[in-house]
Chain A
Amino acid sequence: MSQVAKGLAIGLGSLGPGIAVGIIGGKAVEAIGRNPESAGVVRTVMILAIGFAEAIAIYALVIALIIK
């Protein structure tokens, strides 16, 4: 049963962040397409936002590793 728990923890826990990273990337590409001069600033902000979103998936992974 704990195997199911581990699998569910990481599986369900990475649904949200996966979608979030996709949306962030899409919006960033859109912004660069509208205004190619702002590519540098947009890239920096995008990487920051992706880092935040990834962190949620990492919390889920750590829980999955902790469960015995």
Chain B
Amino acid sequence: MHISLVAETLFSIGGFPITNSFLTSAIATVILIIMAVIVGEKYQKLPFGLQHAFEMAYEFFENMATEVIGVKGKKYVPLVVTFFLFIIFSNWLSLVPGVGSIGLYLSEHGETIFVPFFRGGNADLNTTLALAIISVAAAQFYGVKSKGIKKHLHHFKNPIEIVTEFSKIFSFGFRLFGNIFAGEVLLLASASIFVLLSGNNSSFLGIPGGLIQAPFYMFEVFVGFIQAFIFAVLTMIFISIYVEHEVS
């Protein structure tokens, strides 16, 4: 059973390496764009199914923003909802059958390893660190834009605060990466448990392994939603720390 911490590069386009995680993230983006276009075209006052789902997500974060920041909080909601939707689609796409299991056997450095064509979008530390950096940088940017740079630098009177910002980036990135990557390893290990126990490499032992995998699969669906939710809510909270609140 071979697990690779690093997402494998499949090919390069003009010197830019395309990994299997990147492919899955690109597919998630395309699906989101298609859904956004559909909902935009058929927008009705009385929402239909897909529009209803998106409105539920948007209104949850809008209510939270108005509760914490006030009416001005509404302009921070699109970024937060984008994080939520992108992360939840990336996470759930990594659970589609075929992702992580369909691939090639390549031989590198003398041993054959299995390279899947698709891999969870957030199972790559690069993606999650990028999202974390955008989230923390957005909080800083909105803080400066809302309060002015002098008042913003008051927050950093104590130099420990700068370390706190970097630790936020670290914790955001590793929380999301760890949950999704560990989920993939857990699914792999639980499905191949009979193969590991008996040492017999027959692929028919994967069938009862799939039954063992079923509760872990349900747990991963739940974890995918929770991690997206936590990322979005924490982004909203960190933005609200730096932004001017409305006194009500």
To the question of whether A and B form a pair in one complex, the answer is yes
Task: Please give the residue numbers on chain A whose beta carbons come within 8 Å of chain B beta carbons, in ascending order.
Answer: 44, 47-48, 51, 54-55, 58-59, 61-62, 65-66
For the complex formed, measure the closest distance between the CB of B233 and the CB atoms of chain A, giving whole angstroms.
6
Q: In the complex, what distance in Å separates the CA atom of A59 from the CA atom of B174?
A: 7
Knowing A65-B3, A65-B185, A66-B5 are in contact, say whether A51-B178 is a contact too (CB < 8 A): no
Q: In the complex, what distance in Å separates the CA atom of A12 from the CA atom of B11?
A: 40
Contact, CB under 8 Å: B179 / A65: no
Q: In the complex, what distance in Å separates the CA atom of A65 from the CA atom of B234?
A: 27
Contact stretch, chosen from B24-32, B96-104, B202-210, B222-230 = B222-230
Q: Which of A44, A48, A62 contacts B178 (CB 8 A)?
A: A62
For the complex formed, measure the closest distance between the CB of B81 and the CB atoms of chain A, giving whole angstroms.
16
Residues of B within 8 A of A54 (CB): 175, 179
Q: In the complex, what distance in Å separates the CA atom of A58 from the CA atom of B185?
A: 13
Q: In the complex, what distance in Å separates the CA atom of A66 from the CA atom of B174?
A: 13
Which interface class (under 10, 10 to 19, 20 to 34, 35 or more) fits B?
10 to 19
Contact, CB under 8 Å: B178 / A59: yes
6 closest A-B pairs by beta carbon, nearest first, are: A58-B178, A51-B230, A55-B175, A62-B178, A61-B182, A59-B174
Give chain B's interface secondary structure class.
helix
Q: Which of A44, A48, A58, A66 contacts B179 (CB 8 A)?
A: A58
Q: In the complex, what distance in Å separates the CA atom of A51 from the CA atom of B175?
A: 8
Can you spell out 5 A-B residue pairs with CB atoms less than 8 angstroms apart? A47-B230, A54-B175, A58-B175, A62-B177, A66-B5
Q: In the complex, what distance in Å separates the CA atom of A44 from the CA atom of B67?
A: 14
Residues of A within 8 A of B233 (CB): 44, 48
Contact, CB under 8 Å: A58 / B174: yes
Instruction: For the A-B complex with A55-B174, A61-B182 known, give 8 more contacts whose Cβ atoms are closer than 8 Å.
Output: A47-B226, A51-B226, A55-B175, A58-B179, A62-B177, A62-B178, A62-B182, A65-B5
Residues of A within 8 A of B146 (CB): none
Residues of B within 8 A of A59 (CB): 174, 178
Knowing A62-B178, A65-B185 are in contact, say whether A55-B171 is a contact too (CB < 8 A): yes
Q: Which residue of A lies closest to B177 (CB)?
A: A62
Residues of A within 8 A of B3 (CB): 65
For the complex formed, measure the closest distance between the CB of B60 and the CB atoms of chain A, giving whole angstroms.
9
Knowing A48-B233, A65-B3, A65-B5 are in contact, say whether A55-B178 is a contact too (CB < 8 A): yes
Q: Which residue of A lies closest to B185 (CB)?
A: A65
Q: Which residue of B lies closest to A66 (CB)?
A: B5
Q: In the complex, what distance in Å separates the CA atom of A62 from the CA atom of B178?
A: 6
Residues of A within 8 A of B179 (CB): 54, 58
Q: Which of A48, A62, A65 contacts B230 (CB 8 A)?
A: A48
Q: Which residue of B lies closest to A47 (CB)?
A: B226
Q: In the complex, what distance in Å separates the CA atom of A62 from the CA atom of B128?
A: 14
Q: In the complex, what distance in Å separates the CA atom of A55 from the CA atom of B226?
A: 12
